């Protein structure tokens, strides 16, 4: 219709130089008025790129997307991607067996140009497959298996911030409710907290590992509270454990922060509106999402990103769940 070859049309669509200004304008106007959109499959086939990224996150309970971190991260990633004209193909794995199949479903058939992957997700098989296909990917979180292309919060720093806050309030007997011990970041958080306590000449914290299941968190916290009457503050090292912690305290008739102080690693919109509000170390989710997408975009374009890893500092959001310690009565209920 513009009396030009499709090669020329292709050039203007893709913003490739070497097209006359008037030709370009004419073609663009036609595209606009016809509401023409190039067929994604055809482009994918010819150009060997789909402009789509995969998003693979770990299974966290029955509803994968109800954790305190991933839904927000996914929201940010989706928006950052959309801003760059990139689509997001989602994959959530439920059972352990599904991880691999979900993973492969998305990688299969060159459907995506790259992926953002939760580091926990990362088994040897998955790694092998990614490398084999030379599919660019960036991880959210550090993995023991591979040290390139990831974004992460500074876990040790976050734990330090939380602990310093507790120590500043006067606490000396601190318990840590931490996630599963095979997760690298869980260890980082424990270390960060312990270091602070040692620096202050305080005893090492009690550490209890717990899966991301609220009922189990309740049991763990009850165990801590019953067996360690001296503990006056709990550092809940993952947002998903906060609700269970609060429930355990409430069930035992303990008032937060009056009887026991609570800090959370991870913030969540509703933490601000609980009573008391939960003092939390907030992960820089926006920055993490933006950095991950940015890094992946570079990789997908075949360029080397400025940095192969991006560690971002979290910050403390002080609300009402931490107070000065007081002797806790050791008689639950």
Partner DNA sequence: TTGAAAGCGTTACCAG
Partner DNA sequence: CTGGTAACGCTTTCAA
Residue 255 binds which of its own copies, DNA, none (CB < 5-8 A, kind-dependent): none
* Residue placing its CB nearer to its own copies in the complex, 111 or 326: 111
Residue 17 binds which of its own copies, DNA, none (CB < 5-8 A, kind-dependent): DNA
- Minimum CB distance to its own copies, residue 108 (Å): 4
Cβ distance 130 to 113 under 8 Å?
no
Q: Residue 133 CB: number of other CB atoms within 10 A?
A: 12
CA distance 280 to 159: 10
* Residue placing its CB nearer to its own copies in the complex, 61 or 284: 61
Residue 87 binds which of its own copies, DNA, none (CB < 5-8 A, kind-dependent): its own copies
- Minimum CB distance to DNA, residue 303 (Å): 15
Residue 202 binds which of its own copies, DNA, none (CB < 5-8 A, kind-dependent): none
140: tokens are 């959210």
* Residue placing its CB nearer to its own copies in the complex, 68 or 294: 68
What phi, psi does 110 have (nearest 5°)? Answer: 45, 45
In DSSP notation, 241-296 reads: GHHHHHHHHHHTTPPTTTT-EEEEES--GGGGGSSSPPEEEE--HHHHHHHHHHHH
- Minimum CB distance to DNA, residue 29 (Å): 14
Footprint of its own copies (CB under 8 A): 37-45, 50, 52, 55, 61-66, 71-72, 74-76, 78-79, 82, 85, 87-92, 94, 98, 101-102, 105-106, 108-111, 214-215, 218, 243-244, 246-247, 250-251, 268-270, 272-275
Per DSSP, what are the bridge partners of residue 57?
A: 92
- Minimum CB distance to its own copies, residue 272 (Å): 7
- Minimum CB distance to its own copies, residue 279 (Å): 16
Cβ distance 55 to 105 under 8 Å?
no
* Residue placing its CB nearer to its own copies in the complex, 215 or 226: 215
- Minimum CB distance to DNA, residue 144 (Å): 35
* Residue placing its CB nearer to its own copies in the complex, 40 or 144: 40
Residue 228 binds which of its own copies, DNA, none (CB < 5-8 A, kind-dependent): none
Q: What are the strands, taking DSSP E only, across the chain?
A: 52-57, 87-92, 114-118, 137-140, 150-153, 174-178, 206-209, 233-236, 261-265, 279-282, 309-312, 315-317
Q: Residue 330 CB: number of other CB atoms within 10 A?
A: 10
* Residue placing its CB nearer to DNA in the complex, 18 or 269: 18
CA distances from 161 to 195, 241, 278 (A): 11, 18, 15
The length of the chain is 333
Footprint of DNA (CB under 7 A): 3-11, 13-14, 17-24, 36-39, 42-43, 45-47
* Residue placing its CB nearer to its own copies in the complex, 164 or 213: 213
- Minimum CB distance to DNA, residue 109 (Å): 7
CA-based max dimension of the chain:
88
């Amino acid at each position: 219709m513009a009396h030009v070859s499709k090669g020329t049309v292709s050039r203007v669509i893709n913003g490739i130089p070497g097209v006359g200004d008037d030709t370009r304008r004419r073609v663009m106007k036609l595209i606009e008025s016809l509401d023409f959109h190039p067929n994604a499959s055809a482009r994918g086939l010819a150009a060997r790129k789909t402009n789509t990224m995969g998003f693979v996150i770990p299974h966290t309970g029955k509803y994968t997307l109800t954790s305190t971190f991933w839904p927000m991260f996914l929201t940010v990633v989706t928006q950052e991607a959309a801003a760059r004209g990139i689509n997001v193909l989602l994959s959530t794995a439920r059972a352990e067996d599904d991880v691999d199949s979900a993973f492969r479903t998305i990688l299969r058939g060159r459907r995506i140009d790259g992926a953002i992957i939760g580091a926990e997700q990362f088994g040897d098989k998955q790694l092998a497959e990614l490398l084999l296909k030379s599919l660019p990917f960036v991880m959210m979180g550090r993995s023991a298996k591979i040290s390139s292309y990831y974004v992460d919060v500074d876990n040790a720093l976050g734990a330090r911030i939380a602990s310093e806050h507790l120590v500043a309030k006067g606490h000396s007997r601190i318990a840590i409710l931490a996630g599963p011990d095979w997760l690298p970041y869980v260890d980082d958080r424990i270390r960060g907290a312990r270091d602070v306590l040692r620096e202050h000449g305080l005893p090492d914290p009690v550490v209890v590992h717990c899966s991301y299941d609220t009922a189990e968190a309740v049991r763990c916290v009850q165990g801590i509270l019953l067996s360690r009457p001296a503990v006056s503050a709990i550092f809940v090292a993952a947002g998903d454990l906060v609700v269970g912690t609060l429930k355990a305290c409430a069930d035992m008739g303990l008032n937060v922060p009056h009887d026991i102080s609570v800090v959370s690693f991870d913030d969540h919109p509703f933490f601000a509106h609980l009573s008391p509000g939960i003092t939390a170390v907030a992960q820089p989710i926006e920055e993490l999402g933006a950095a991950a997408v940015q890094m992946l975009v570079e990789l997908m374009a075949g360029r080397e990103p400025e940095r192969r890893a991006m560690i971002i500092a979290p910050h403390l959001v002080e609300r009402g769940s931490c107070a000065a310690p007081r002797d806790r009565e050791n008689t639950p209920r």
